[in-house]
């Protein structure tokens, strides 16, 4: 039995190598993914996407781009994972979620460092797999009935705090999906891809700014192209990463999968648990929404109370200002009346005016004071007394 298994594994590896070399020589189509991914999942014909692939033996809480980590290469932020199928499903195609089947990968023919949407608020960064509706054209993602900023379901996102974004164990720091609603409300869409020299570049997170804000260096990895998927690996000591990215000549499949793969009992169990998982987090989501509504109502009450207190303060201040102004006016009038009371009467002024009219100077008391002073001196002077 063991001998048969070894022979079968050898035949599969040989077929894989031959298929890859033939595809590289003749050009390949989407059909190439069928045999490459069949050992690790299951192919299903789902409208309107056609043949889609579902990974096997994944946890109910699994989401695309939640089991690897981010590195920075010459193509920007590039997603790395240890899964043997990561080279294909994390760099080609799109992901969609089916209520009955779970996560499904839709093949594509364009390679990118990662096909994800991005959000950030300075404290947390989030990413989510792009759906098939996100079509690249004219330098951006466009679709009539799809908006990246609002149309990706809250449960599809992975959020981490910025300090752990570059960690090789970033998957351990992904926040509980029940909090995604709060993070989505706080963050903004920063999805930005560039297309140059027939390649996509992911510069959604400014690496220079990130390094300045955290005073920590992000290592740059050199990209080495390899011709087989089993050569995909990363070397931290050399700061280089091997990437397998075959060039497709068409985005259409020519045939159906010869080997559709097998859906294990764990996959069926996954679907059942995923249903319960979704119901649990849907309940958590609605509970969170109700909690946020209550918090919003409390904040509104506090804001209204503060406005009432501010208005009452302004009214009291206006009354105090008016009272002070009235007091100042009353004091001014009282002082004016006192000054009027100290003015001489009209009879005295008329008498002084009549004396002046007769040609005599008014007696202001200066002469009498001068005469009295002279008399005093004469009476006290001893010489004057002897003369007398």
pLDDT higher for 348 or 59?
A: 59
**Alpha-helical regions (H) of the chain:** 2-26, 32-37, 86-89, 180-186, 207-214, 265-341, 346-357, 366-380, 382-387
pLDDT of residue 105: 95
Residue pair 217/197 in contact by the 8 Å Cβ criterion: no
Structure tokens at 68: 């690897």
pLDDT of residue 350: 52
Residue pair 242/224 in contact by the 8 Å Cβ criterion: yes
3-state secondary structure of 286: helix
How does residue 24 score in pLDDT terms, banded at 50, 70 and 90? very low
Euclidean distance between CA atoms 10 and 75, whole angstroms: 35
Count the residues in the chain: 388
Residue pair 194/204 in contact by the 8 Å Cβ criterion: no
pLDDT higher for 382 or 103?
A: 103
How does residue 329 score in pLDDT terms, banded at 50, 70 and 90? confident
Kindly report the pTM of this predicted structure: 0.64
Euclidean distance between CA atoms 329 and 322, whole angstroms: 11
Q: What is the CA radius of gyration of the chain?
A: 46
Euclidean distance between CA atoms 376 and 382, whole angstroms: 12
Helices (H) and strands (E) in the chain, counts: 9, 17
3-state secondary structure of 49: coil
Is a pLDDT exceeding 90 seen at residue 76?
Answer: yes
Positive or negative, the CA dihedral 139, 73, 229, 47 is negative
For the chain, the structural domain boundaries read 29-263
Question: What mean pLDDT do residues 306-329 have?
Answer: 89
How does residue 368 score in pLDDT terms, banded at 50, 70 and 90? very low
Phi-psi region of 40 (alpha: psi -120 to 50; beta: other; left: phi over 0): alpha
Euclidean distance between CA atoms 40 and 85, whole angstroms: 7
Share of the chain above pLDDT 90, in %: 33
Task: Mention every residue, 6+ apart, whose C-beta is less than 8 A from residue 148.
Answer: 117, 130, 134, 141, 189, 191
Structure tokens at 222: 């050199």
Q: pLDDT tens for residues 237-291?
A: 889 999 999 988 777 777 777 777 766 555 555 555 655 555 555 666 666 667 7
Q: pLDDT tens for residues 140-172?
A: 887 767 788 778 988 899 999 999 999 999 999
pLDDT, the chain, mean: 79
Residue pair 115/89 in contact by the 8 Å Cβ criterion: no
Q: pLDDT tens for residues 193-221?
A: 999 888 999 989 999 998 998 888 999 99
**Alpha-helical regions (H) of 127-264:** 180-186, 207-214
Q: pLDDT tens for residues 369-385?
A: 445 444 544 455 555 44
């Amino acid at each position: 039995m063991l001998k048969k298994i070894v022979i079968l594994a050898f035949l599969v590896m040989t077929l894989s190598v031959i298929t890859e070399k033939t595809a590289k020589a003749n050009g390949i189509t989407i059909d190439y993914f069928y045999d490459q991914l069949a050992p690790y999942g299951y192919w299903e014909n789902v409208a309107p996407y056609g043949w889609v692939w579902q990974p096997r033996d994944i946890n109910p809480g699994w989401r695309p781009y939640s089991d690897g980590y981010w590195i920075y290469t010459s193509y920007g932020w590039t997603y790395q994972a240890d899964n043997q199928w990561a080279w294909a499903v994390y760099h080609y195609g799109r992901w969609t979620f089916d209520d009955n089947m779970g996560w499904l990968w839709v093949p594509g023919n364009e390679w990118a460092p990662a096909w994800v949407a991005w959000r950030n608020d300075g404290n947390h960064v989030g990413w989510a797999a792009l759906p098939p509706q996100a079509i690249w054209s004219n330098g951006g993602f466009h679709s009539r009935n799809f908006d990246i900023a609002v149309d990706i379901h809250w449960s599809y996102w992975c959020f981490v705090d910025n300090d752990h974004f570059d960690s090789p164990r970033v998957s351990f720091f992904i926040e509980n999906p029940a909090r995604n609603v709060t993070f989505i409300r706080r963050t903004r869409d920063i999805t930005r891809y560039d297309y140059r020299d027939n390649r996509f570049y992911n510069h959604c997170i400014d690496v220079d700014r990130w390094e300045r804000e955290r005073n920590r260096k992000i290592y740059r990895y050199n990209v080495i192209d390899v011709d087989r998927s089993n050569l995909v690996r990363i070397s931290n000591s050399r700061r280089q990463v091997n990437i397998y990215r075959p060039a497709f000549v068409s985005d259409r499949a020519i045939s159906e999968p010869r080997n559709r793969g097998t859906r294990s009992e764990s996959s069926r169990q996954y679907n059942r648990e995923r249903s319960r998982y979704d119901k649990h987090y849907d309940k958590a989501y609605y509970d969170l929404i109700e909690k946020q509504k209550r918090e919003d109502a409390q904040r509104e009450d506090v804001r209204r109370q503060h406005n009432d207190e501010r208005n009452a303060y302004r009214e009291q201040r206006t009354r105090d200002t008016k009272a002070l102004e009235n007091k100042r006016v009353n004091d001014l009038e009282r002082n004016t009346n006192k000054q009027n009371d100290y003015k001489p009467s009209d009879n005295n002024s008329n008498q002084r005016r009549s004396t002046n009219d007769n040609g005599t100077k008014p007696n202001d008391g200066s002469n009498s004071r001068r005469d009295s002073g002279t008399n005093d001196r004469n009476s006290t002077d001893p010489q004057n007394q002897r003369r007398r």
